[in-house]
Structure 1
Amino acid sequence: MKWVVKFTDQDFWRIGLIRENPLDVIINGLNTYDIHWFNFTDKDFEADPFIFTLNSKDYIAYEIFDYSHGNGKIECVDFNGKRYDFFENVNKIVGHKSFPFIFEEENELYSIIETSDLHEISLYKFNGIKFEKIKTLLSGGKYIDTCIKKVDGVFYLFTSTSDEPFKQKLFFADTLLGDYQPHPCSPIANDKAFGRNGGPIVDRDNNYYRICQNCAVTYGGSLKVMHITKLSKTVYAEEFFKDVMPVAPFSDGIHTLSYWGNMTVIDSKNILSKYSNIYRKINYLAMVKFGKEIPYFSK
């Protein structure tokens, strides 16, 4: 029965590192590369990875989630697994956190974190110790999987909502902190195969590529990459470019590909089935309903 499978099956996500340019990874396929798989914790999800470099040190920010703890939070580690409290401020807010998109603008480090239950897109800036909220960019929607790309001096914001996760919306502003306006071509996609973001916009040689979660068959089954052929304040067009398929030992799905320079990180999953998940998932739903959260790590 479908409801039994829903409660017994569980996604188990882990993060992989490839020390190559993301576009090369997309073109050549994951099978081409020696992927270094991390296993930072024993939790159910280590997913939505975003890599960044700060003071010559490399970090991975990602969603950590386990049914026994309640809502997902943002974890940050170096490649050796040492933890950093860069996202402590946002993690203190009750609710689910994921997709910690990180980018650099004018030598400053910023992050947009998925906080859909707050009905807003907030911009966080690294103050030398932690990411702190500096502005709400959009409000009034349950925004998910948001990223920003600066092209020809214009900031383009790509997002969807948990109500309509596969309807990709596009906004733009003349400054990072400016007022974001709906693009006249928005929504730019409305399809389970390529309507939901799966990472930041990839660019090389003035060509831009949108990473999409392909959920046509199963959640996070693979990635589709769309080549953006036209992008301005008035026009937008994209066309299919490449599929990115998961590989062993996590061959049941992939739903994020992000990068920093010539380092690429992905997440991939195995689907595990066990009857103990019935209790764990029911307990999780109760925790979320009553706003209960158990910290992932003790101080």
Structure 2
Amino acid sequence: MSLRKDIWRSGILEAPLASLLSHTDWSQIPCHFLPDMPRAFQFRADPFGVWHEDRLHVFLEIYDYRNRIGEIELFVYDRAWRLIRNEIVLREPWHLSYPQIIEAEGAFWMLPEAHRSGTQILYRAERFPDQWVPACQIDLGGEIAVDATLCFRDNLWWLIYTPVEAAKKAPSRLHLAYAETLSGPWTRHRQNPVRLDPSSARAGGTPVEIDGKLMLPVQDCAHTYGGAVRPLWFDVLTPERVVTHTGPALPIAPRFAPFTEGMHTLSAVGDVTLFDIKKTVLSPHGLMIEAGREIRKARRRFGFT
């Protein structure tokens, strides 16, 4: 238990991701933040999105330190940034976060982070955007992925991920797997880990192609979890060989204060980019929340209600 808690805030920047990399002063870019949380020690993070029927659909984690179970929430905005719809669209008995959304093979797909379930489940929209059903498990030969991120390149599906044991300690490791279809079978890259570096070995957003080269936003956790986002460039990406290099960490505009202590998601959605930034809160209240949760867990374990 810790007195200091990360509190994240998610927003929409009116600029494509590529321009954010080339012009790192975001102080003049129009920004629309998602609504504030109703209670302390709650947050929204890991935003991903897709445009559909001229509306921006934002999927992200909603989290409460009282139960430590993330759920996937939906926000729908029109072009005038009016909020049209807001609801929880996916919940499981385990923690969910990092809900990457893709449109492929005639359907919408969601790949949420769910390592506490012991597996990696790809969901398909039975009815977009609010009904999601398990489509298949992604088999990585016993590896459990954290922040797994999909992209399609050179007629192959690529999965970029950090094994769960590597996500819990430094230096972190970045792994790759590839398949001909989303349902697999998946082959882990023989060069794994393709990166061994706490500053660039955990995915943090959507892969995009810029000037013919694949770029993945990655988390810089060298000093703190989600301390910054930096671009990871794939100079070579084939089943035989991977070559990467990183760019500098992206600065957080001072106008976002007090949420200037970190960033760990940067998601491209056409002409806009979704992002999250954090502040940390030092409060005995946070410790009381964790203590209360542990007491409730102990009571359930010993048969008390």
Q: TM-score, normalised by structure 1?
A: 0.88
Which residue does 1:136 correspond to in 2? 137
Rounded to whole Å, the distance in 2 between the matches of 1:157 and 1:291 is 38
**Which residue type is aligned with residue 266 of structure 1?**
F
SS at match of 1:49: strand
Q: Report Cα offsets for 1:11-54 as digits up to 9, x if no partner.
A: 11111111211111122123352322222432522100011123
Please show how residues 134-213 of structure 1 align to structure 2 within 5 Å. 134-138=135-139, 140-165=142-167, 166-213=172-219
Which residue does 1:226 correspond to in 2? 232
Which residue does 2:273 correspond to in 1? 264
Rounded to whole Å, the distance in 2 between the matches of 1:75 and 1:245 is 27
Contact 1:123 1:133 in 2 (8 A): yes
Q: CA deviation at 1:236?
A: 0.6
Rounded to whole Å, the distance in 2 between the matches of 1:116 and 1:286 is 24
SS at match of 2:86: coil
Which residue does 2:124 correspond to in 1? 125
Contact 2:159 2:176 in 1 (8 A): yes
Residues 32 and 188 of structure 1, relative CA distance in 2, 3 Å threshold: farther
Rounded to whole Å, the distance in 1 between the matches of 2:290 and 2:212 is 45
SS at match of 2:44: strand
Rounded to whole Å, the distance in 1 between the matches of 2:69 and 2:43 is 11
Contact 2:71 2:88 in 1 (8 A): no
Rounded to whole Å, the distance in 2 between the matches of 1:120 and 1:66 is 23
Residues 52 and 203 of structure 1, relative CA distance in 2, 3 Å threshold: same
**Which residue type is aligned with residue 106 of structure 1?**
E
Residues 135 and 274 of structure 1, relative CA distance in 2, 3 Å threshold: same
Which residue does 2:87 correspond to in 1? 84
Q: Report Cα offsets for 1:162-185 as digits up to 9, x if no partner.
A: 311121110001122220001122
**Which residue type is aligned with residue 87 of structure 2?**
Y
Q: CA deviation at 1:57?
A: 2.0
Q: CA deviation at 1:187?
A: 1.1
Rounded to whole Å, the distance in 2 between the matches of 1:58 and 1:290 is 43
- How many residues align? The count is 283
Residues 159 and 286 of structure 1, relative CA distance in 2, 3 Å threshold: farther
Rounded to whole Å, the distance in 1 between the matches of 2:48 and 2:137 is 21
1:14 and 2:12 are equivalent in the alignment? no
Q: CA deviation at 1:225?
A: 0.9
Q: TM-score, normalised by structure 2?
A: 0.86
SS at match of 2:165: coil
Rounded to whole Å, the distance in 2 between the matches of 1:155 and 1:271 is 37
Which residue does 2:80 correspond to in 1? none
Rounded to whole Å, the distance in 1 between the matches of 2:229 and 2:75 is 25
Rounded to whole Å, the distance in 2 between the matches of 1:230 and 1:286 is 51
Residues 71 and 81 of structure 1, relative CA distance in 2, 3 Å threshold: farther
Rounded to whole Å, the distance in 2 between the matches of 1:134 and 1:223 is 31
Percent identity between the two aligned chains: 22
Contact 1:196 1:212 in 2 (8 A): yes
Which residue does 2:246 correspond to in 1? 240
Q: Report Cα offsets for 1:78-108 as digits up to 9, x if no partner.
A: 2317323432xxx1x2111100011111342
Contact 1:100 1:111 in 2 (8 A): yes
Please show how residues 5-154 of structure 1 align to structure 2 within 5 Å. 7-29=2-24, 30-43=26-39, 44-79=42-77, 80=83, 82-87=85-90, 91=91, 93-129=92-128, 130-138=131-139, 140-154=142-156
Give the alignment partner of residue 251 of structure 1, picking from 260, 281, 296. 260
The alignment yields a C-alpha RMSD, in angstroms, of: 2.1
Rounded to whole Å, the distance in 2 between the matches of 1:51 and 1:239 is 26
Q: Report Cα offsets for 1:259-285 as digits up to 9, x if no partner.
A: 211110000011111111111122345
Q: Report Cα offsets for 1:187-229 as digits up to 9, x if no partner.
A: 1112110111111212134211121111111111111211110
Rounded to whole Å, the distance in 1 between the matches of 2:29 and 2:233 is 23
Rounded to whole Å, the distance in 1 between the matches of 2:149 and 2:246 is 19
1:276 and 2:285 are equivalent in the alignment? yes
**Which residue type is aligned with residue 59 of structure 2?**
A
Q: Which runs of 5+ in 2 are unaligned?
A: 78-82
